[in-house]
Structure 1
């Protein structure tokens, strides 16, 4: 820095000397100031006098220039010091910024590493989820195939059942006719027994009376015991006769109803209903099955989900509930606000199914429905999966 300043100062001095010489000559020429006259000492003295004058002017000019240059040097030094201070401040600021940038860089590197690790975890989860989705899709396809096969088997079974039911009814009518004839013969035999039993008792009584008159006191006690046993046998025989008569009457009534059409299938009561849409968030109240597949006797109301018994009798009810996705759900078969049985579908895997059946004795007007118990959300399809059925036996 200082050699540069020194060279700069020397250059300025040379420039000022040149300017001073020019100024002196110009001043002498242009101002018209007469030089002091010295004694006439010849040409050499004139030259010497001019040289002295020029030297004096040059010294004065150099003095001014030196003072100006010193001021400039002081100013330049202050500027250099200020620049050095600014440069130190800038260097410190740059160092601080570099440290800050290094810290931020380290932080960004840590965040990038964390993001990479998180990305790897997410990729693993995504791979696992994709595998689960493929497995669920395969299970759904298998379930669909099983459902179609089950529907086919159900239709085949229903047709076979109808054929077998017709054959069974025909055989039953034949057997009832045979049974009626047997019962008539049994009734006739029972009437004959009614006639012979009193005569037999009377004969035994006379024999025992004669024996009582002819035997000792010890034999009399034994005879009394035998008579008591005979009376007990007689009472049991009469009770069996009453039971037999009641059975005969029941069979006669059954035969008359069969022959008169009292058990017409068209007059029986039964229903099968389901839902064709699922509800992921269902969790309270009655489960209303809006899709009615069968409703003989018009006991089921599709608007309220309640079955009302058209007549007194014994009824069988069956519920199937399929949980939505991996939910858990519990529903009850309710008879007049009292829960009878519960169907439980535990959400260990997707679309678990719970079933249960109840046999109930109902009076005309009694109500039965399916009620939410706990959990939530059920699944169904266009062909009902969640269903409710019942019939009178």
Structure 2
């Protein structure tokens, strides 16, 4: 942050080298005050290159489970939890800041049985996106971009009975998009 301020101050000094004596110093002091105020404001609004709100996670299921309808899938084994926004106690992601996020999920199914992979991507208790697949699929999933506010929550929930999630081959991932 100080390097940015110093760089901008030097740029102003060079661009105003035509000014003379006290007037140049007064002008530079006003410019420095304006820059300092702008940087403080920007820090309150969001990070400037620090990526303090970076977040990414991948969680997998630790065992094979058959779920009934309207149950949260227990992605309880963390492979990555950068930013600590995913909870293995309630299997939900909580957005640390407002922004655009991407979520991807994949369920391994047992072929030849009457199981399905009908699940919803939930956002604060409402269905945001759905996946429908039957036992003829061995792996099914989806990906969705979601605009979230700070503290919005996202999780994967079953839509029907007999949703069979097969061991460590099922995963749920998410990350914040920066542009």
TM-score range, shorter chain: 0.5 to 0.7
Please identify which structure carries the higher strand content: 2
Once residues 262 and 363 of structure 1 are traced to their aligned partners in structure 2, the CA distance between those partners, rounded to angstroms, is 19
1:378 corresponding residue in structure 2: 164
Unaligned runs of 5+ in 2: 1-38
The correspondence for 2:134, drawn from 346, 370, 374, is 346
Relative distance call for 1:287 and 1:379 in structure 2 (3 A) is closer
The correspondence for 2:141, drawn from 342, 355, 380, is 355
1:283 corresponding residue in structure 2: 68
Question: Is residue 82 of structure 2 the alignment partner of residue 296 of structure 1?
Answer: yes
The correspondence for 2:120, drawn from 319, 322, 332, is 332
* Displacement after TM superposition at 1:375 (Å): 4.0
Question: Is residue 139 of structure 2 the alignment partner of residue 392 of structure 1?
Answer: no
Contact persistence 1:319–1:343 (CA under 8 A): no
Once residues 312 and 318 of structure 1 are traced to their aligned partners in structure 2, the CA distance between those partners, rounded to angstroms, is 19
Contact persistence 1:324–1:377 (CA under 8 A): no
The correspondence for 2:103, drawn from 306, 309, 317, is 317
* Displacement after TM superposition at 1:324 (Å): 3.2
Please identify which structure carries the higher helix content: 1
Unaligned runs of 5+ in 1: 1-252
User: So what's the TM-score if we normalise by structure 1?
Assistant: 0.31
* Displacement after TM superposition at 1:357 (Å): 1.1
Larger Rg: 1
Contact persistence 2:106–2:142 (CA under 8 A): yes
Relative distance call for 1:345 and 1:352 in structure 2 (3 A) is farther
| Residues 25-104 of structure 1 mapped to structure 2, 5 A cutoff | none
1:263 corresponding residue in structure 2: 49
* Number of aligned residue pairs: 131
Once residues 53 and 99 of structure 2 are traced to their aligned partners in structure 1, the CA distance between those partners, rounded to angstroms, is 14
* Displacement after TM superposition at 1:370 (Å): 0.4
Once residues 265 and 294 of structure 1 are traced to their aligned partners in structure 2, the CA distance between those partners, rounded to angstroms, is 17
Once residues 363 and 265 of structure 1 are traced to their aligned partners in structure 2, the CA distance between those partners, rounded to angstroms, is 17
Contact persistence 1:309–1:367 (CA under 8 A): yes
| Higher RCO (C-alpha 8 Å, min separation 6) | 2
Contact persistence 2:53–2:96 (CA under 8 A): no
Once residues 110 and 49 of structure 2 are traced to their aligned partners in structure 1, the CA distance between those partners, rounded to angstroms, is 42
